[in-house]
Amino acid sequence: MATEKQDSSRKRPPNFRIEIPGDETVKSRILEKLQKVKGYLTSTLNKPVNNSLIIEELLDFWIKQQLGSDNSKELHPFPSTYSQTRSQDVDQGLFVTAEKSLDTYGELYEAHTSICNGKLKVLKRTMKGHVASVRLMCTKEKSHSYLWSSSSYLPNDEFLVNHRICHAFYSSGLLPVHYTRFVNGAGIGCITKERRLKFFRTYKEHAENESVQSVDNAINDEISSYDDLDGINIMTDARHGWRKNAKDTTVVALGEKTHKVMDCEHITKSQDKVAQRHERLGTQIIYENLENKNVSIKIHAHDRNLAVNKFVRDTQFTVNQNDLWHAVKAVKKLSPRFPKVPNVQRV
C-alpha cells in the first residue's frame, strides 16, 4: 500500500511500504473501507488524516477490543533480563535470597501495579545477617511504601536464609576467621558471632542425634555385608588438629565393606594432655563403643601407630593389620586365617 500521494513540489516525508496480497477486487474493497474510516476520523478529529493514522487507530481499536485496555501493556516490550553491570555498580549491595521470597516480591509488585502506575524503587536496604530487608517506595505516591525481606521466617522468628548459612558454616569445617573473611570479601552480609553461637547451641544437639543415628545405621549395613556374623573389619586413622603437638585429634573408624563411619571420636587435651597418646585413646573409646553395641572387631587395619599396635595386640579377639586406608585387598588376604568358630559370635 503506497503512502498518500504528495505534492511533488514539497519534500516527501519519510515513508515505508506495506505489501498487501490481493487482486483488484481485494484492493478496491480495502481502499473503500479505508476511505470510510478516513472520512469518519477527519470529521471527529477535525484534522486531515493519513494512512498511518488510520491504520494505527484501527489497530488500537482492535487491541482494546481483544485484549482489554489493561492488557494492552503486554504489547510493549519487556525490559531485558540480561543486563550488564556498569563499572560504578560493581560494589552494589549483595544479599542471599530464597525462591519463595522472590515470588513474594513478584506478588507485591503486581499488587502495586494493579492500583498505581508508579514504579517501586529500593529506598533503603538493611542487612540482617545475609538477608536484605528492603524498603520499597513508589515513584508516584509516597504512601505506597513496602518492606520486603529476601528470606522468609522460620517458626522461631529467625530467617531461613541465615539458618541455612549457619548450617553450611558449621558443617563445612570453616574456621570463624575464614567465614568472616569470605563473607566480607563477597559483601553478602555477615551473621554476628553471638547469633552464630546461639544457633550452634541448638544445632549441636541435632547434629549429635543425627550422628548417633547415622553410625547405628552404618554399623547395621556393615554387619549385614558379611556372610559370617562373627565380627566386622575396621580401618582407623587419626587426624590431628595441628601438625606438631596437636591440641586435638579425631580418630575415625570405617567399616571395611561399606566404608561407612563406624565411629568417630574427638580427643582433646582436656582428656589427655599428651597429644601423642590421643590416637590410642580414641581407638580405645571406639573399641568400647563397639563393644557396648555388641559388635566385635575381627581385623583392625591402621597406619603404623605403635601405641595403637600395642593396644590392638592386647585385645583378645582382634587381629592387628598395619595397613593403609584403602589397601582392602591386604585386609582380605588375612581373612581366611580365621576359623569359623560359632561360639565367638558376638554380633
CB of residue 199 to Zn ion, shortest distance in Å: 38
CA distance 238 to 278: 9
Closest CB to Zn ion among 1 and 115? 115
Closest CB to Zn ion among 136 and 183? 136
* Gyration radius of the chain's alpha carbons: 38
Q: 176 with 194: CB under 8 angstroms?
A: no
Closest CB to Zn ion among 120 and 312? 120
Closest CB to Zn ion among 138 and 251? 138
CB of residue 109 to Zn ion, shortest distance in Å: 11
CB of residue 158 to Zn ion, shortest distance in Å: 31
Alpha helices, DSSP H, located in 235-327 = 278-292, 306-314
CB of residue 146 to Zn ion, shortest distance in Å: 10
Largest CA distance in the chain: 120
CB of residue 144 to Zn ion, shortest distance in Å: 3
Closest CB to Zn ion among 124 and 259? 124
DSSP codes of every residue in 4-21: PP--TTSPPPP-------
Q: HSE on the CB side for 37, CA within 13 Å?
A: 18
Burial label, 96 (beta-carbon count in 10 A; 0-12, 13-18, 19+): buried
Closest CB to Zn ion among 44 and 114? 114
CA distance from start to end of the chain: 93
CB of residue 79 to Zn ion, shortest distance in Å: 18
Shortest CA distance to 17 belongs to which of 46, 40, 51, 42?
51
Alpha helices, DSSP H, located in 46-159 = 51-71, 99-115
CB of residue 139 to Zn ion, shortest distance in Å: 7
CA distance 216 to 218: 5
Closest CB to Zn ion among 34 and 108? 108
CA distance 239 to 303: 12
Q: What's the angle, vertex CA 254, arms to CA 249 and CA 259, rounded to 5?
A: 140
Name residue 300's beta-bridge partners: 234, 320
Closest CB to Zn ion among 113 and 309? 113
Measured torsion, CA atoms of residues 208, 214, 215, 220, in degrees rounded to the nearest 10: 150
Q: 138 with 108: CB under 8 angstroms?
A: no
CB of residue 120 to Zn ion, shortest distance in Å: 7
Closest CB to Zn ion among 63 and 116? 116
CB of residue 190 to Zn ion, shortest distance in Å: 34
Residues that bind Zn ion (CB under 5 A): 116, 118, 138, 141, 144
